[in-house]
Copies of this chain bind each other. A is one copy, B any other.
Amino acid sequence: MAERSKPERRRRLSRPVVLAAAVALVDREGLAALTMRRLAADLGVEPMALYRYTDGKEGLLDGLVEAFFAEVNERLRTSVEQARADTASAAEAPWRTELRRVARAFACVVHAHPEVLPVVAARPLSVPVARRPEPWLQLTEHVFAVLARAGFDDRTALAIYRTFVSWTLGCLLVDKRQVVDNPDEPDPVLRLGLHRLSAADYPRLRALVPHFAEYDDERELTDGLDKLLGRMPEAPLDAFYGRGAP
């Protein structure tokens, strides 16, 4: 009788459907709104139904990461990068263009789903490599394959990979930091909450906060990558890694 509520997406769940709904929910209402019960309601289903596809809440978070990297891979597969005068010179090493493509795809997906960034950044801190979601494994494998094809030995490839991930992740994390305090406020001072910052204690901060968001994030991302990786020759380079690694 009381069957017509409203979301009423009819029968047959599946893991992709559940994950897509989860991502949509997080996009729409933030990470805190992601609840077994809430997600189930969105799918027109009882909470326990989800457990067949997600292995609990923890597993659902891993599912978010999975969906995220699946989207990165997808974008990578379908994107035809338009030639850019400033980035892709004719004679550039292919591994470097490819790394840039990956970084851009990653950034793109982050901009599409900024609310899942904290999960993407933090989850690997607690789930070991071998248990990472398949799309993550695929992407990583892909990067290593590209580097191997470019002739880098294992240690150098690893160093490049780490540098690449560190920078990309760090950039996006900083890019997405909150600067505005009260978005609806017309007065810029109040909007940024500068009245909370004593002019005596934080003069520089007060002066600079208004400009925190003024920059070209994509440019910063790729420029930094070039600085970090640009001077590396194609052949193994001893100077690149430290004394480390037995």
- A residues lining the B interface (CB < 8 Å): 114, 117-118, 121-122, 124-131, 137-138, 140-141, 144-145, 148, 154-155, 157-159, 162-163, 165-171, 173-174, 176-181, 192-197, 201-205, 207-209, 211-212, 214-216, 219-220, 223-224, 227-228, 231, 241-246
Q: Which B residues are CB-close (under 8 A) to A227?
A: 227-228, 231
Which of B155, B167, B202, B214 sits near A166, CB closer than 8 Å? B167
Is there contact, CB below 8 Å, between B241 and A215? yes
Is there contact, CB below 8 Å, between A242 and B220? yes
Is there contact, CB below 8 Å, between A245 and B211? yes
Q: Which residue of B lies closest to A192 (CB)?
A: B130
Main secondary structure of the interface of A (DSSP, over half): helix
Is there contact, CB below 8 Å, between B178 and A174? no
Is there contact, CB below 8 Å, between B244 and A214? yes
Q: Determine how close the nearest CB of chain B comes to the CB of A207; give it in whole angstroms.
A: 7
Q: Which B residues are CB-close (under 8 A) to A126?
A: 178
Q: Which B residues are CB-close (under 8 A) to A125?
A: 114, 117-118, 173, 176-178
> How far apart sit A245 and B215, CA to CA, in the bound complex (Å)?
5
Assuming the contacts A215-B158, A244-B214, asked whether A196 and B144 have C-beta atoms less than 8 A apart, the reply is no
